[in-house]
Amino acid sequence: MTTADVRISEADLADKPLLEIRDLAISFKTGSGEVQAVRNAHLTIMPGETVAIVGESGSGKSTTALAAIGLLPANGRVSGGQILLDGEDISHAPEKRMIELRGNTIGMVPQDPMSNLNPVWKIGYQVKETLRANGRPSGPADVAKVLAQAGLPDAERRAKQYPHEFSGGMRQRALIAIGLSCQPRLLIADEPTSALDVTVQRQILDHLETMTAELGTAVLLITHDLGLAAERADKVVVMYRGQVVEAGPSLELLQNPQHPYTQRLVASAPSLASRRIQVAKELGVESDELLAPGTTPRGAVVVEPTMTEDVLQIQNLKKVFKLRSGFGKSTDFTAVDDVSFSVKRGTTTAIVGESGSGKSTVAQMVLNLLQPTSGKIVFDGVDTSTLNNKEIFAFRRRVQPIFQDPYGSLDPMYNIFRTIEEPLRTHKIGDKASREKKVRELLDQVALPQSTMQRYPNELSGGQRQRVAIARALALDPEVIICDEAVSALDVLVQAQVLNLLAELQSRLGLTYLFITHDLAVVRQIADHVCVMEKGKLVETGSTDEVFDAPQRDYTKALLNAIPGARLMLPPEVA
Amino acid sequence: MKTNRVIEHFVAPVEETPLLATDSLKTDQAPLSLWADAWRKLRRRPLFIISAVMIALIIIVALFPGLFTQVAPNDNCQLANSDGAPAAGHPLGFTFQGCDVYSRIIHGTQASLMVGVFSVIFVLIIGVTLGALAGFYGGWIDSVIARLGDIFFALPLILGALVVSQLPFMRENRGVWTVVMVLVVLGWPQMARITRGAVIEVRNADFVTAARSLGVSRIGSLIRHVLPNALAPIIVLATMELGVFIVAEATLSFIGIGLPGSIMSWGNDIAAAKSSVRTNPAILLYPAMALSVTVLSFIMLGDALRDALDPKSRQR
């Protein structure tokens, strides 16, 4: 572990690495002492090369990158090793030197486009600020040029606008413009597109690729998505628990992962694994074997779903919101427009769309939390809008939601027992002892130890909370579960685990899922039917295979093309 | 840029970072609720310990003044002792009327504290109820309650108290309860505002939607989920207001519209001492000190609670 992990061939010996990280160790001071965040990290970036660091949240990938630009949080410090930029050790360089380097030698594109532009300054001013700080010409023409290079149309006018007038994708372009404005030799892009819709993500990354290739900029791309990393980078570095566990050429790493963690990651990455599962399904292989280990043994009884009956029918559903626009006036905004589809019992139907497509509004209406403006939702033969209070109460037992944000969907004041018991108590099911027994059973079903009962949500990880949310949804033995982006906030391995659990519960309990998501890769893993929504309208429906293999609409095609890693060559044993 | 560079495939030895089970649960620590967590943080903070000890002491003094002084506050007032210096058994000297200063301060604690505690209780009842309804339901309920609150909010304390305490009913029944009433009437909008804000913040949380879709009624979700989660800022404000109300009582008593002279309170003592402020400022100083120390304790407690209950600082 003392040699650098990348060696240069004879022909390129003259080619010196731009950034070399050797034996890097970073520690943080916390309330409970010094915590090692990164150990023994090795990384080499050659000029013009794109290197991706992949890892789950908390693996130290962002910390490593921040150390390279000297922007560690105040309680963090480099406790060992070297960061060599052109042979100069900058791991303990004085702030003055770092200021010299930032901007024109090392640029940075931060993660969240929504919060990384100052809302009170015009975009142009924020670009100008960067140019001026690095002693470059900063007239209006220069600013417009920088923005135009980043792919902002009509850059001169755009420079005079404020961040709130920009969409997420445009803001990210502006941030890329700022990051590249001084033509740095290294650009650090920290999850540059994870907050954006897939199609926008693709455009931005394509553009970033062309731009950095033109300028000869090396890119350090930080991402949680192995598919995206492999597609965009020459070299992938996998980090796990603060260490580099594997590094190598991207394709080789995917095809021939050596470290058990990388193997696990490759097996679970939805963008890569999806086709495996499809193949596996056809061969009748249990999906567990392909996904992450460590879930429950499966139950012996498998309920054969009767695939014929429509449990949910959505007919010409429409929802119009009144938006306040000035004094006493309001404009109509049609969030959901004439949507019809039906869901068969025991199957999974996915509603796919980008942000603002109205997919979550549909879910809210199916849950009877929002009243449709027109149209009908028929559940088990009954129009849900005709239900009275008592019938709604009964309806709630049969249709349960699981929400996106595992940090928001559990009441922080309730311990896990009370959380899972609440539906039982609300519906006055059983006495205290029988309810406790049921809670224990539910925890078993979602593969959490029974001792979890006494814990509070803040003690659990995102995946564990989501499993608690699933247990709560299952408490009333519902027939339909609405998953609103239920796995979007989770790390890939955890995501695979939760998807696996959902699939297993479906086969055991005959559940029907309505799965709302923006992630087509996940859809392929779990859904039988797909509904694609765009701007409130349903543009395509069909079985998953139909939609994936022969998409009819351009929009669907664009979505499918945008799945990171979709264009990659699959490992030979799968394809 | 794709050159003939060879990128070596590096694999770390597995022993160095052994693989953990995906998403395994830590089971070695005791469960921790919000309150347990707050308590864990509080009990190590000197600010909290000092203020809690002070407040405990003040409460004991208020409940059992007899434990701290044998001298009856009003019986032995002899004009011979007027403005007298400290003497044996009378550690802080005598007032203008020749009463024992120390004894009066000890016995005055009760009225001051009662005004503070009861004002806060009623402010909590009214302010939290109205604020929660306004925040949770929004719409016209919110508008009506907010405007109503603004009316009272716009009245300066002294001016408002002058007006309210001149109502015939109030004038005839002057005592602890009328002061409490004045303070509650003028003090609830602040509490309602804070509650409203906290409720709005929690109202749209996923767990409230989840509870609703489990079949919990609207009002049920307000009481069981929204309010408990909005409690932290309310508790902090209540603690701080307790101090503020004690000062307000003293202010009102000082200008003569608070407690009647027959009830011993710090405010009355400060008012009475103003005539001898040039000759014997100590008489003014002692009740004023008692007042400031009490108020300081409550505000310090509020501060410590705010830090401990801050959700952003929650972590393991």
**Any idea where the domains of chain A sit in the sequence?**
13-105+185-268, 112-183, 310-412+477-561
Which of A216, A413, A448 is nearest residue B34 as measured by Cβ atoms?
Answer: A413
Half-sphere exposure of A428 (CA within 13 A, CB side): 2
Q: Is the pLDDT of residue A10 over 50?
A: no
A124: nearest Cα among A92, A157, A76, A164: A157
Which of A397, A410, A454 is nearest residue B31 as measured by Cβ atoms?
Answer: A454
From residue A150, alpha-carbon distances to A168, A203, A221 in Å are: 14, 11, 17
Give A58 to chain B, closest Cα distance, Å.
12
Cβ–Cβ under 8 Å, residues A4 and A243: no
CA distance A127 to A326: 33
A325 or A460: whose pLDDT is higher? Answer: A460
Tell me the two tokens of residue A361.
């509004």
pLDDT for position B214: 85
How many residue pairs from chains A and B have C-beta atoms closer than 8 A?
Answer: 173
pLDDT for position B131: 94
Residue to mutate among B10, B208, B310, with most A CBs inside 10 A, is B10
Quick: pLDDT tens for A466-522.
889 999 998 988 999 999 888 877 888 888 888 888 888 888 888 999 999 888 888
Q: What are phi and psi of A516, to 5 degrees?
A: -95, 125
pLDDT for position B54: 92
User: For residue A351, is it left (φ>0), alpha (ψ between -120 and 50) or beta?
Assistant: beta
- In three-state secondary structure terms, A152 is coil
Q: Which residue has the tokens 């001026």?
A: A132
Q: What residues of A are in contact with residue B227 (Cβ under 8 Å)?
A: none
Element (H, E) at B227: helix B227-254
Q: Do B6 and A410 touch (CB under 8 A)?
A: no
Quick: pLDDT tens for B79-138.
766 666 777 667 777 777 777 788 888 888 888 888 999 999 999 999 999 999 999 998
Quick: pLDDT tens for A341-396.
989 888 899 998 887 788 888 988 998 888 899 988 998 888 888 888 888 888 88
Q: Do A293 and B211 touch (CB under 8 A)?
A: no
Q: Is the pLDDT of residue A209 over 70?
A: yes
Sign of CA pseudo-dihedral A430, A436, A442, A444: negative
Element (H, E) at B170: helix B168-172
Cβ–Cβ under 8 Å, residues A238 and A259: yes
Q: Provide the pLDDT confidence category of residue A284 given band limits of 50, 70 and 90.
A: very low
In the beta sheet, which residues pair with residue A243? A240
Give A555 to chain B, closest Cα distance, Å.
31
Cβ of residue A412 closer than 8 Å to a chain B Cβ: yes
- Other residues' Cβ atoms within 10 Å of the Cβ of residue A34: 12
Cβ of residue A234 closer than 8 Å to a chain B Cβ: yes
Cβ–Cβ under 8 Å, residues A395 and A387: yes
pLDDT for position A525: 81
Q: In what order do the strands lie in the sheet with A19-30?
A: A33-45, A19-30, A76-85, A88-89
Q: End-to-end alpha-carbon separation of chain A, Å?
A: 35
What is the distance, to the nearest Å, from the Cα of residue A248 to the centroid of all Cα atoms in its chain? 24
| Predicted ipTM of the assembly | 0.73
Tell me the two tokens of residue A121.
């300054």
What is the distance, to the nearest Å, from the Cα of residue B111 to the centroid of all Cα atoms in its chain? 17
Cβ of residue B209 closer than 8 Å to a chain A Cβ: yes
pLDDT for position A92: 86
Residue type, A247: A
Q: What are phi and psi of A219, to 5 degrees?
A: -125, 130
pLDDT for position A572: 42
pLDDT for position B284: 84
Give B49 to chain A, closest Cα distance, Å.
20
pLDDT for position B125: 95
Cβ of residue B28 closer than 8 Å to a chain A Cβ: no
Residue type, B87: A
Cβ of residue B281 closer than 8 Å to a chain A Cβ: no
Give B41 to chain A, closest Cα distance, Å.
11
- For domain A13-105+185-268, give its CATH number from 3.40.50.720, 3.40.50.10140, 1.10.357.10, 3.40.50.300: 3.40.50.300
CA distance B150 to B123: 15
DSSP B91-151: TT-B-TTS-BHHHHHHHHHHHHHHHHHHHHHHHHHHHHHHHHHHHHH-HHHHHHHHHHHHH
Cβ of residue A426 closer than 8 Å to a chain B Cβ: yes
CA angle A203, A206, A208 (to 5 degrees): 105
Q: End-to-end alpha-carbon separation of chain B, Å?
A: 47
Burial letters A102-125, b for 16+ CB under 10 A, else e: bbbbbbbbbbbbeebbeeeebbbe
Burial letters A198-225, b for 16+ CB under 10 A, else e: bebbbbbbebbeebbeeeebbbbbbbbb
In the beta sheet, which residues pair with residue A108? A188
Ordered per-residue pLDDT tens for chain B, 316 residues: 445 566 777 877 777 666 666 666 655 566 666 777 778 878 888 889 999 999 999 999 888 887 877 777 776 677 766 666 777 667 777 777 777 788 888 888 888 888 999 999 999 999 999 999 999 998 899 999 999 999 888 888 888 888 888 888 877 778 888 889 999 998 999 999 999 999 998 888 888 988 888 888 889 999 989 998 888 889 889 988 888 898 888 888 888 888 887 888 888 888 888 877 787 788 888 888 988 999 899 888 888 888 887 665 554 3
Let me know how long chain B is: 316
Most confident of A401-405, A554-558, B91-95, B141-145: B141-145
Residues 478-507 of A with CB under 8 A from B: 493-494, 497
CATH 2.60.120.10 fits A310-412+477-561, yes or no: no
A478: nearest Cα among A424, A436, A416, A434: A424
pLDDT for position B4: 53
Give me chain A's average pLDDT, please. 82
Q: Do B19 and A42 touch (CB under 8 A)?
A: no
A379: nearest Cα among A514, A261, A273: A514
pLDDT for position A80: 87
Which of B8, B29, B315 is nearest residue A248 as measured by Cβ atoms?
Answer: B8
Half-sphere exposure of A354 (CA within 13 A, CB side): 18
Q: Which residue has the tokens 């685990």?
A: A497
pLDDT for position A221: 92
Cβ of residue A410 closer than 8 Å to a chain B Cβ: yes
CA distance A4 to A21: 8
pLDDT for position A297: 38
Q: Do B23 and A464 touch (CB under 8 A)?
A: yes
Contacts with B143 (C-beta within 8 Å, 6 or more apart), sequence order: none
Contacts with B134 (C-beta within 8 Å, 6 or more apart), sequence order: B141, B142, B145, B146, B192, B196, B199
Cβ–Cβ under 8 Å, residues A83 and A43: no
Cβ–Cβ under 8 Å, residues A178 and A166: no
Q: What residues of B are in contact with residue A369 (Cβ under 8 Å)?
A: 209, 212-213
CA distance B109 to A459: 44
Quick: pLDDT tens for A416-436.
898 999 999 988 888 888 999
Query: Fold identical between A13-105+185-268 and A310-412+477-561?
Result: yes
DSSP A144-165: HHHHHHTT-TTHHHHTTS-GGG
CA distance A305 to A480: 13
Give B210 to chain A, closest Cα distance, Å.
7
CA distance B316 to B305: 18
CA distance B47 to B124: 25
Q: What is the DSSP letter of A395?
A: H
Give A551 to chain B, closest Cα distance, Å.
34
Residues 186-205 of B with CB under 8 A from A: 205
Q: Which residue has the tokens 């960061």?
A: A83
Cβ of residue B14 closer than 8 Å to a chain A Cβ: yes
Give A75 to chain B, closest Cα distance, Å.
15
Residue type, A219: V
- Other residues' Cβ atoms within 10 Å of the Cβ of residue A370: 17
pLDDT for position B26: 59
Q: What residues of A are in contact with residue B14 (Cβ under 8 Å)?
A: 259-260
Q: Do A293 and B210 touch (CB under 8 A)?
A: no
Q: What are phi and psi of A318, to 5 degrees?
A: -140, 140
Q: Provide the pLDDT confidence category of residue A13 given band limits of 50, 70 and 90.
A: very low
CA distance A296 to A444: 8
Q: What is the DSSP letter of A59?
A: S
Cβ–Cβ under 8 Å, residues A35 and A79: no
Residue type, A254: L
Q: What percent of chain A has pLDDT over 90?
A: 10
